[in-house]
């Protein structure tokens, strides 16, 4: 495989006197926490959950833990006798009980890869949509939805995490802690997938009522979490004005995000280019190898049971050949035993089959990795190009994520298996109230245009005459079906100044108010680089926003005078939006007041 991108990235690995080490950064963060005596942080715990396609993990920390420069990683799992930072994202239903992770019997056929099913078909490439792994995941649903499976797994992981916390903290102490749970999600996930993840987390009991107060649940894009923990825990240096690309290569998705460094005290990170990513993670390496086995065995493959295939793919490939293979392993390949075929020998073509074993060469094994590695290279090259298009230069490419435990991949990826969930813990403390943080992600870049359909006053030379119509209520001509874009693809949005757009509805009578106020607000989206000025088929619905108007009455609204002199009651609403990866954080304000979840319902299309 060509090494152009990765060998080039090694040239970025340098030090400078114009830097701030992450160790001093971590010390500054700890000093911040330590100085908050008798604050809300005394009864605060941040819990990070990295829910992955193939493996998942959890971490947690209190203010005391951070004062001791320590983040607790869950490493003791049911059914496994060694310490490990993650557990398999698998489920098995056995006579009413749910087994998960390492606790699934070896001869069972578990449900897996269900995280992939949260992404809709239209957002998948043809190759991924028709991949054997995705088709197999769909066949495993058996009457349950993907959200149900995610909820079942999260519930098991959540309960085990609480049990791990109880091993080092008394239950009476835990009962007094306010929970902030941060779940990492792929940056390429759109809003509907994030909404499904929220639903699954609630079904899993993560936000269940507690005596210490409501549990706060937030989400963070996986590469952002990786960036935070990499800054905190390693010796990587930062240079003002330079760009650092984070590539999070996981089991299912690969996400890239770029940060330009601003101020160093505190550290300010600005997203430098539109993030990119795709479904080209480790499972597609596994799929390629399985396809090689299937092609070599031909019709004999169909005689293998799902348990036989599992033995070949897990016991022999996942835990033996794959993690040990490197291109420099002296030409060694791998030998795979075919269950129940000890008498099979076929020396007519390669890879040879002898006494029920397939003898793969080193070049055979390398083919399983090559397609995924090529796609990752292309994603990194594309991200570098986008950064350079902004007139910026890349100082370093930070490679993190799972992609199994392959030594081959470690030549290119610094494999930090628990970095994502530990980054979520750091995020939990950075979002804690009244904490002056030593690092901030200051801005993000919109990955799509978001807005609403509206009917402004018609202006000659601005609006197309075919959209001109008379509005009887206001006594003016309006341009109907125009697009008001809150933010456009590529816009830089400051975290402290999210996109805000207000709009009003006018009513001449209480009957008009009662009829219109029940209609949900429709928010629209467009993926075009340049969005259209009026509504078209290129514009899709992002979500609808329904507001509980119990506390809003016609009499409470203020009057406004229309151009034709009519006195109309006006209901004012504004929406704040902040891009977060490919999704968008939305808050709704009515009559100047922030509406909580009990008064507003956002349903993504």
- What single string gives the DSSP state of each residue in 349-386? SSSEEETTEEEE-HHHHHHHHHHHHHHHHHHHHHHHHH
Determine the pLDDT at residue 446.
93
pLDDT value of residue 25? 45
Least confident of 25-39, 130-144, 229-243, 333-347: 25-39
pLDDT at 332 over 80: no
- pLDDT bucket at 533, cuts 50 / 70 / 90: very high
Domain ranges of the chain: 4-281+372-444, 283-370, 446-604
pLDDT confidence of residue 601? 87
Comparing 23 with 527, which gets the higher pLDDT?
A: 527
- Decide if pLDDT at 27 tops 80: no
> Is 26 strand, coil or helix?
helix
Residue bearing the bigger pLDDT, 397 or 201: 201
Please report which confidence band the pLDDT of residue 23 belongs to, taking 50, 70 and 90 as the band edges: very low
Mean pLDDT of 446-473: 89
Q: What is the mean pLDDT of the chain?
A: 83
Q: What is the token pair recorded at 291?
A: 């396809």
Instruction: Answer whether 162's CB lies under 8 Å from 156's CB.
Output: no
Q: Is 224 exposed, middle or buried (0-12, 13-18, 19+ CB in 10 A)?
A: buried
Instruction: Give the pLDDT confidence score for residue 123 in this predicted structure.
Output: 87
**Residue 398 in tokens:** 């930070």
CB count within 10 Å of CB 13 equals 11
Token duo for residue 511: 């009957």
Q: Are 497 and 529 in contact (CB under 8 A)?
A: no
CB 357 within 8 A of CB 334: no
Cα–Cα dist 549/211, whole Å = 30
Longest Cα–Cα distance in the chain: 95
* More confident call, 2 vs 285: 285
Neighbours of 115 (CB within 10 A): 28
Distance CA 14, CA 399 (A): 15
Nearest to 198 by CA among 540, 586, 524: 586
Mean pLDDT along residues 492-521: 77
- Going by C-beta distance under 8 Å and a sequence separation of 6 or more, which residues neighbour residue 185? 51, 193, 194, 197, 219, 220, 221, 222, 581, 583
Poorest-confidence range of 10-14, 59-63, 231-235?
10-14
Position 417 pLDDT exceeds 60:
no
Quote the CA–CA distance of 530 and 490 in Å, as a whole number: 10
Mean pLDDT (whole number) for 323-344: 80
Number of helical H runs and strand E runs in the chain? 16, 31
Q: How confident is the model at residue 180 (pLDDT cuts 50, 70, 90)?
A: very high
User: Is the pTM of the predicted complex or chain greater than 0.85?
Assistant: no
Give the closest residue to 321 by CA, choosing from 308, 300, 337, 306.
337
Of 233-242, 264-273, 312-321, 340-349, the one with minimum mean pLDDT is 233-242
pLDDT at residue 331, rounded to an integer: 58
- pLDDT > 70 in the chain, percent: 85
Q: What pLDDT, on the 0 to 100 scale, is given for residue 281?
A: 87
Q: Has residue 203 got a pLDDT over 80? A: yes
- 91 band by pLDDT with thresholds 50, 70 and 90: very high
- Asked whether residue 219 carries a pLDDT value surpassing 80, the answer given is yes
The span from the CA of 14 to the CA of 396, in Å, is: 8
Is the CATH number of domain 4-281+372-444 3.40.50.2300?
A: no
The larger pLDDT score, comparing residue 331 to residue 485, is at: 485
> Which of 125-134, 412-421, 474-483, 547-556 is predicted least confidently?
412-421
- At 2 the pLDDT is 31
Cα torsion 33, 39, 43, 48: sign: negative
* Among 235, 175, 182, residue whose Cα is nearest residue 211: 175
Highest mean pLDDT (candidates 87-101, 104-118, 147-161, 299-313): 147-161
**Looking at residue 4, what is its pLDDT?**
28
With a cut of 80, say whether residue 451 has pLDDT above it. Answer: yes
Residue bearing the bigger pLDDT, 141 or 272: 272
Cα dihedral: 48, 20, 268, 530 (round 10): -90
24 pLDDT above the threshold of 50: no
| Cα 525 from Cα 489, distance rounded (Å) | 10
What is the model's pLDDT at position 445? 93
pLDDT of residue 408: 62
For residues 344 and 411, the model is more confident at 344
Q: Looking at per-residue confidence, does 331 or 302 come out higher?
A: 302
């Amino acid at each position: 495989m060509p090494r152009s991108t990765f060998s080039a990235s090694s040239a970025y690995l340098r030090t400078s006197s114009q830097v701030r080490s992450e160790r001093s950064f971590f010390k500054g963060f700890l000093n911040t926490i330590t100085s908050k005596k008798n604050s809300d942080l005394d009864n605060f715990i941040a819990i990070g959950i990295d829910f992955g396609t193939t493996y998942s993990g959890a971490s947690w920390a209190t203010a005391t833990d951070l004062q001791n420069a320590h983040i607790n990683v869950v490493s003791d799992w049911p059914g496994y006798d060694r310490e490990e930072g993650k557990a398999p994202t698998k489920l098995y239903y056995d006579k009413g009980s749910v087994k998960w992770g390492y606790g699934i019997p070896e001869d069972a056929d578990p449900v897996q890869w269900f995280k992939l099913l949260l992404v809709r078909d239209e957002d998948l490439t043809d190759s991924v949509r028709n991949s054997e792994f995705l088709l197999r995941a769909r066949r495993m649903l058996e009457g349950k939805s993907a959200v149900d499976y995610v909820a079942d797994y999260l519930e098991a992981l959540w309960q085990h995490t609480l049990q791990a916390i109880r091993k080092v903290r008394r239950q009476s102490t835990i009962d007094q802690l306010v929970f902030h749970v941060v779940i990492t999600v792929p940056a390429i996930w759109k809003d509907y997938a994030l909404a499904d993840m929220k639903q699954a987390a609630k079904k899993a009991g993560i936000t269940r009522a507690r005596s210490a107060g409501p549990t706060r649940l937030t989400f963070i894009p996986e590469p952002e979490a990786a960036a935070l923990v990499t800054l905190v825990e390693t010796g990587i240096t930062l240079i003002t004005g330079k760009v650092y690309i984070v590539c999070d290569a996981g089991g299912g998705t690969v996400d890239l995000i770029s940060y330009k460094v601003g101020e160093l005290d505190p550290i300010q990170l600005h997203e430098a280019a539109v993030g990119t990513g795709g479904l080209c993670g480790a499972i597609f390496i596994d799929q390629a190898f399985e396809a090689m086995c299937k092609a070599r065995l031909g019709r004999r493959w169909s005689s293998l049971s799902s348990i036989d295939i599992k033995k070949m793919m897990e016991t022999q490939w996942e835990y033996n050949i794959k993690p040990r293979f490197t291109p420099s392993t002296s030409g060694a390949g791998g030998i795979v035993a075919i269950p129940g075929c000890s008498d099979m020998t076929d020396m007519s073509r390669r890879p040879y089959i002898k006494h029920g074993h397939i003898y793969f060469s080193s070049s055979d094994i390398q083919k399983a990795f090559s397609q995924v590695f090529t796609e990752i290279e292309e994603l990194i090259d594309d991200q570098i190009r986008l950064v350079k298009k902004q007139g910026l230069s890349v100082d370093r490419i930070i490679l993190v994520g799972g992609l199994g435990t392959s030594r081959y991949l470690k030549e290119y990826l610094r494999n930090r298996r628990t970095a994502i969930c530990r980054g979520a813990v750091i995020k939990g403390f950075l979002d804690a109230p009244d904490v002056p943080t030593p690092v901030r992600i200051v801005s993000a870049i919109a990955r799509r245009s978001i807005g609403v359909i509206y009917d402004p006053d018609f202006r000659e030379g601005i609006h197309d005459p075919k959209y001109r119509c008379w509005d009887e209520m206001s006594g003016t001509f309006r341009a109907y079906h125009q697009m008001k874009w809150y933010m456009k693809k590529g816009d830089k949005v400051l975290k402290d100044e999210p996109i805000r757009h207000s709009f009003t509805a006018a009513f001449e009578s209480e009957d008009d108010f009662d009829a219109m106020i029940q209609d949900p607000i429709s928010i629209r989206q467009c993926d075009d680089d340049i969005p259209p000025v009026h509504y078209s088929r290129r514009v899709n619905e992002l979500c609808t926003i329904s507001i509980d108007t119990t506390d809003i009455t016609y009499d409470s609204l203020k009057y406004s005078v229309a151009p034709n002199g009519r006195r109309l009651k006006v209901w004012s609403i504004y929406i704040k939006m902040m891009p977060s990866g490919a999704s968008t954080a939305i808050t709704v304000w009515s009559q100047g007041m922030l509406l909580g979840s009990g008064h507003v319902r956002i349903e993504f299309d």
